[in-house]
Structure 1
Amino acid sequence: MEKGARHRNNTEKNYPGGSESQEADSGGGGVALKKEIGLVSACAIIVGNIIGSGIFVSPKGVLENAGSVGLALIIWIVTGVITAVGALCYAELGVTIPKSGGDYSYVKDIFGGLAGFLRLWIAVLVIYPTNQAVIALTFSNYVLQPLFPTCFPPESGLRLLAALCLLLLTWVNCSSVRWATRVQDIFTAGKLLALGLIIIMGVVQICKDFWRETLGGHGLDHAHFCRPVYIWRSQWVPLHLLPCISTLLMLVTSDIYTLINYVGFINYLFYGVTVAGQIVLRWKKPDINRPIKVSLLFPIIYLLFWAFLLVFSLWSEPVVCGIGLAIMVTGVPVYFLGIYWQHKPRCFNKFIELLTLVSQKMCVVVYPKEAEDLKMK
């Protein structure tokens, strides 16, 4: 399927409003995204990815389930140390395999196409939509809670406001990259301000000996609802619609902690697989250039903690974890039918080409021209 509608250098027509590269600069062909993201916006994207909604939601749940402030603090310290260990492992993988794609690129290069496809499959169908649903529900909860001071907001209201938030942000992303970057910048600044207020208020309450009340209250997550903004897409890209629709489906429940457990298990599963790939890569390619090289003790410690959390999650939430695993397994036949099976019948290939061509014409899209200098040599 190297020809026809699937060709990546398809420059059949330039559409107004799209994000196109200047053909004079690219040597006479190809459509690519404009470089419209500046330094501030790029930093805002990084901050938005690092500071998730968990810091605003999790402290209350951790304290409630831990039963004491001391145990909650120990849990936060231990998980912080383990996260730092995992970050060091990812740092080595990032400079050893300098490709865009994160976990997908690492898993695909180390374990093969099936593992990489399953990572991408579960990310598109479960991880990204669930993360966005958690953020949208948290935003709607903190917006509606002041209107219901003596009770919890109605579930229908929470879902409706969350859905409206998602639809609005999807429209912003599909309309203009510049608008999306401005929204990202504004709410990233608001997020940092909210974190600062939480820290300052916490210190003040500690001084007043109201520690328990401080941690038992709500966080300030109103600044974080813009997390679903994918500003690296161009205009007229229908791929905005897939995460939006998938996220709307996740709103069948308004229980934030159920969604967190749901996505946490699957996400952490592939974190462990990626870190295990670091050990495998050390064995398969011991002489590869590694600008950053950490001790093997770090991935081993991380994997031991990873295995404990997976077993505990399966024991405590078997249904939630089982649903995530079932969705992941559905990607296996898709991979073998769509990618691994090379010698497909001609009628099958013609149907896929026709379907792709019709989709491209309806959505006004083509494949972007790949930048050669970004490919791994």
Structure 2
Amino acid sequence: MDNDSLKKATKKESENGSSSHGVVSQAKDQKPVKATVLQKDVGLLSGICLIVGTMIGSGIFISPTSVLLYSGAVGPCLLIWTACGVLAMLGALCYAELGTMITKSGGTYAYLMEGFGPLPAYLFSWTIVMVLKPSNLAIITMSFAKYASTPFYPDCTPPVVVTKCLASAAVFVIVSVNCLSVKLASYVQIIFTAAKLFIIVVIVGAGIVLLAQGNTQNFSNAFDGASQSFGAIGLAFFHGLWAYDGWAQLNYITEELKDPHRNLPLAIIIGIPLVSVCYVLVNVAYFTVMTPSELLVSPAVAVTFGDRVLYPLSWIVPLFVLFSTFGSANGSCFTAGRLAYVSGREGHMVKILSYISLKRYTPAPAIIFNGLLAIFYIMPADITTLINYFSFAQWGFNGLTALSLIVMRFTRKDLHRPVKVPIVIPGVMVLVCCYLVLAPIIDNPEVEYLYCASFLLAGLLLYFPFVHMKVKWGRKLMRPITLHLQLLMEVVPPEKTE
């Protein structure tokens, strides 16, 4: 691809505008990423697998320590894991009504647009691209690095610089895979999803055997030492809910779901309780071999469990946990790239993010941008800080989405509602989300909340001149930068499809 051809592509893009809705294949034997080719080929079983496969990631292998730390005892720890499943279920039921009422792509973005207008929808788009998705990738790759480095430091915690370098290297590999080929990224995801399901079955099965053998001493006096702190319980929920993240993913493909009026709520009702049961049983399995104090000092809970239960085959636990976290990171990168791509295409982000690779047909600029931000978040923060950071913003938008459901009960009575949940459910979700956002800030203010608020304010500063008013000098400033990046990466804007 020479420079003249790329310049022609840029000229053609500016003539067509920045609201393209797809990519036309430029070679007979190649298939590009088509953001809006929505075929109804996802059935009930596929929907259940999507929910389960997205939710089970690194959280169950890294969050148990933090949930126990903030809850204070075994009993409240297990109750919080169960309550997190119930809360995820309530939130997903709200999304089931919204998804069958507003059958547009975009999930939360579409619901906020319908309920409150473009500004909250833009702030969600801004936050998820700039904060939530990259910090999500950073958290998962740091979990990966923690488990990868632990076997090399059997008597101590791995050095921070080692885990951060490994996490950054993992981001580089994952970004490279996703930029090279959509098929390659899909194959990686399938293989590592099977691995994560295998290790969950192994841990739960071993825990059941140990319980049958009478290893129940850690469940005696299970509520002694329980935390009484209002904010600490909120932080425990933060870390538990991090493991449940992904319960709303099916709403992003509502238009591709067969009979969504039936299959969306059914997939939610089956998938989320299944994950909840798995998570509680995995935590029970941990407590059959580790006391609370031992679990708190374990640098990698699942690895310690494997060393004590599965020796001499204990090596399979860290290996498959690595597979699980790597697969989750790959899926996060894949999704984040598409979200940034759509945001750029709709004019909510810089235009270069909506460009695709001429040779690979991947949204390479968007994927690389997400990877660079993830590395930025890895450098200054540890996993605990990032999870607090992630959950604070995420649950703020979840509460706003639940509130939009209540608002539209009165302002959009004309909309058809195939699924209609009792209004008390979104009401409970709004209250719980307010608690999750405000309790930790009131109890123990931390700097990461200020960072998150700063990002939101920065979004407002950019929204009015560049999105709402569409100032011309901003476009003139970005045009040469876009052209040079386009030439460097050999990417072109998507073309319209009829």
TM-score (norm 1): 0.85
Q: Which residue of 2 aligns with 1:169?
A: 174
Q: Which residue of 2 aligns with 1:6?
A: 18
Q: How does 1:136-147 map to 2 (within 5 A)?
A: 136-147=141-152
Aligned length: 359
Task: Say whether residues 1:329 and 2:457 are aligned partners.
Answer: yes
8 Å CA contact 2:334–2:367 kept in 1: the answer is no
8 Å CA contact 2:24–2:494 kept in 1: the answer is no
Q: How does 1:1-377 map to 2 (within 5 A)?
A: 3=15, 6=18, 8=20, 14=26, 19-20=31-32, 46-207=51-212, 208-209=215-216, 211=218, 212=287, 213-214=289-290, 216=295, 218-219=301-302, 221-222=321-322, 223-229=324-330, 230-231=333-334, 234-235=361-362, 237-253=364-380, 255-315=382-442, 316-342=444-470, 344-345=471-472, 347-363=473-489, 364-369=491-496
8 Å CA contact 2:392–2:449 kept in 1: the answer is yes
SS of residue in 2 equivalent to 1:228: helix
Q: Deviations over 1:19-60 (max 9, x none)?
A: 438xxxxxxxxx77899xx97999876544222322222222
Structure 2 distance, partners of 1:276, 1:169, is 36
Task: Give unmatched runs, 5+ long, in structure 2.
Answer: 1-12, 219-286, 303-316, 339-360
8 Å CA contact 1:104–1:119 kept in 2: the answer is yes
Structure 2 distance, partners of 1:82, 1:278, is 16
Q: Relative to structure 1, is the Cα distance of residues 305 and 46 closer, same or farther in structure 2, using a 3 angstrom cutoff?
A: closer
Structure 1 distance, partners of 2:135, 2:113, is 23
Same amino acid, percent of matched pairs: 32
Structure 1 distance, partners of 2:379, 2:474, is 36
Structure 2 distance, partners of 1:154, 1:298, is 45
Q: Which amino acid aligns with 1:132?
A: L
More displaced stretch, 56-65 vs 163-172: 56-65
SS of residue in 1 equivalent to 2:32: coil
8 Å CA contact 1:19–1:33 kept in 2: the answer is no
Q: Relative to structure 1, is the Cα distance of residues 3 and 158 closer, same or farther in structure 2, using a 3 angstrom cutoff?
A: same
Structure 1 distance, partners of 2:180, 2:68, is 42
Displacement after TM superposition at 1:314 (Å): 1.1
Displacement after TM superposition at 1:198 (Å): 2.1
Structure 2 distance, partners of 1:150, 1:273, is 46
8 Å CA contact 2:22–2:35 kept in 1: the answer is no
Displacement after TM superposition at 1:4 (Å): 5.4
Structure 1 distance, partners of 2:176, 2:36, is 18
Task: Give unmatched runs, 5+ long, in structure 1.
Answer: 22-30, 373-377
TM-score (norm 2): 0.65
8 Å CA contact 1:103–1:274 kept in 2: the answer is yes
Q: Which residue of 2 aligns with 1:25?
A: none
Structure 1 distance, partners of 2:81, 2:23, is 52
RMSD value, Cα: 3.1
